[in-house]
A = this chain, B = another copy of it.
Amino acid sequence: MMELKVDLGERSYPIYIGEGILDDIVDLFNKHRISKLSPILLVTDDQVAEFHLDKVLELLLKGGFQVVSSIIPAGEKSKSIAQFEDLITVAIESGLDRKSTVVALGGGVVGDLAGYVAASYMRGIAFVQIPTTILAHDSSVGGKVAVNHPLAKNIIGAFHQPELVLYDIATLRTLPERQIKAGLSEVIKHGFIRDADFVAWIDHNAYKLLELDSEALEFALYHGCRIKSIIVSQDERENNLRAILNLGHTIGHALEAVAKYNGLLHGEAISIGMVGAARLSVLLGNPEHIYTETKRILRKLGLPIQLPKQLDIDEIMVAMMHDKKFDSGRMTFIIPTEIGEVEISNQVTLEQVSQVLEQLKQEE
């Protein structure tokens, strides 16, 4: 088992990563003083529930915890105000109090939604993440929690750090292949932002990762989390630096919004977004290989690099302007300046963006 400390002063917490560590859940909960006197709200989705809920429930109940579980429908659509309200109702009806804990068992959707419930219920109660997707390595660092609005993703939320994150690689074995690839998109994003060596390592180990090799995965998740945690520690509330984590997300979020949270997985949208950012980079005068390498490695991981032809460019542009990253009338892009390095730029014109979006439709 590897342990990574996310360093945030009095809000610091550990991420435990390893094969089979769900078996240690009771010990870890005890170690972190998760209350046994107050009910726990365990949130998961119907797909994750099928594979992993019974085990978690059994362990916790045996360990002396009171647990109420709530199963939401799988998928991004559940990250809604309506679902948020339902969970709050369950929390009230189940008698959750200020010493209670919300536990998220699932991917980023369950994590973000349950996390926002934890952040808001009684103005904030304890929160534990048990990520079950590769992509959720990203959401398990940094405390961003949120739900979507029909007009914009993640627009309603908070910063709420968990007490601990318990990341059992064994749970990833039930993931559909497409989800594995989509998850690796955010792993390599962390390399593209800060660590050329990590990108090279992923390039070299791409097939092992796609096969969910235990050791490779532990290494990749640890490093992905580590890079993010270093950045987040320096800028918890995203005043500035933390924005670099949004590489690929300006375009990516807009694609998701226009595709109405259907059709494209988050990691897939981000993959296309990273190719777009690399193209913008070249347009701004950076070397061509940033674009070709970005594209080559993403393709090797089985990720999409082409903008779906049926999506309307103007709609995507409008969605981008609704995005949080559209600040004081300027669009903000994270631009790679080399493999493993990025900068925050306000220099990109609307025209350049729509040009790149057109080009993204032609990628092969």
With CB as the reference atom, state the residue of chain B lying closest to A146: B123
In the assembled complex, A313 has its CB within 8 A of some CB on chain B = no
Q: Which residue of the partner chain B has the closest CB to A119?
A: B158
- With A120-B156, A123-B146, A146-B123 as known contacts, state yes or no: A85 contacts B92, CB within 8 Å: no
Shortest distance between the CB of A302 and any CB in chain B (Å) = 32
In the complex, whether A37 has a CB less than 8 A from a CB of chain B is: yes
Cα-based distance from A123 to B329 in the complex (angstroms): 19
Q: Using an 8 Å CB-CB cutoff, how does the interface string of A79-118 with B read, 1 for contact, 0 for none? A: 0010001001100110101110000000000000000000
Is the CB–CB distance between A89 and B149 below 8 Å? yes
With A92-B151, A151-B92 known to touch, is A156 a contact of B121 (CB < 8 Å)?
Answer: yes
Would A122 and B324 count as touching, CB distance under 8 A?
yes
A interface secondary structure, majority? mixed
Q: Does A35 contact B (CB under 8 A)?
A: yes
**Residue A310 is within 8 A (CB to CB) of chain B in the complex:** no
A157 interfacial contact with B, CB 8 Å: yes
Residues of B within 8 A of A99 (CB): 327-328
> Is A266 among interface residues, defined by CB-CB distance under 8 A?
no
Q: Which residues of B contact A279 (CB under 8 A)?
A: none
User: Which of A35, A92, A156, A237: most chain B Cβ within 10 A?
Assistant: A156
- Chain B residues, Cβ within 8 Å of A37: 328-329
User: Residue-by-residue, is A146-179 near B (CB-CB < 8 Å gives 1, otherwise 0)?
Assistant: 1001011001111100000000000000000000
Chain A interface size range: 35 or more
Residues in B whose Cβ lies below 8 Å from that of A124? 158-159, 237
Which residues does chain B contribute within 8 Å of A120, judged by CB atoms? 120, 156-158
Given A97-B324, A98-B327, A99-B327, A88 contacting B123 (CB threshold 8 A): no
Closest residue of B by beta carbon distance from A145: B123
In the complex, what's the smallest C-beta–C-beta distance from A26 to chain B, in angstroms? Answer: 20
Q: A159: which B residues are within 8 A, CB to CB?
A: 123-124
- A144, CB-defined interface residue at 8 Å: yes
Contact B146 A92 (CB under 8 A): no
Partner of A158, one of B95, B97, B123: B123
In addition to A37-B328, A38-B327, A97-B328, 12 A-B residue pairs with Cβ atoms within 8 Å of each other are: A89-B149, A89-B151, A92-B149, A92-B322, A95-B321, A98-B327, A119-B158, A120-B120, A120-B157, A121-B155, A123-B159, A124-B237
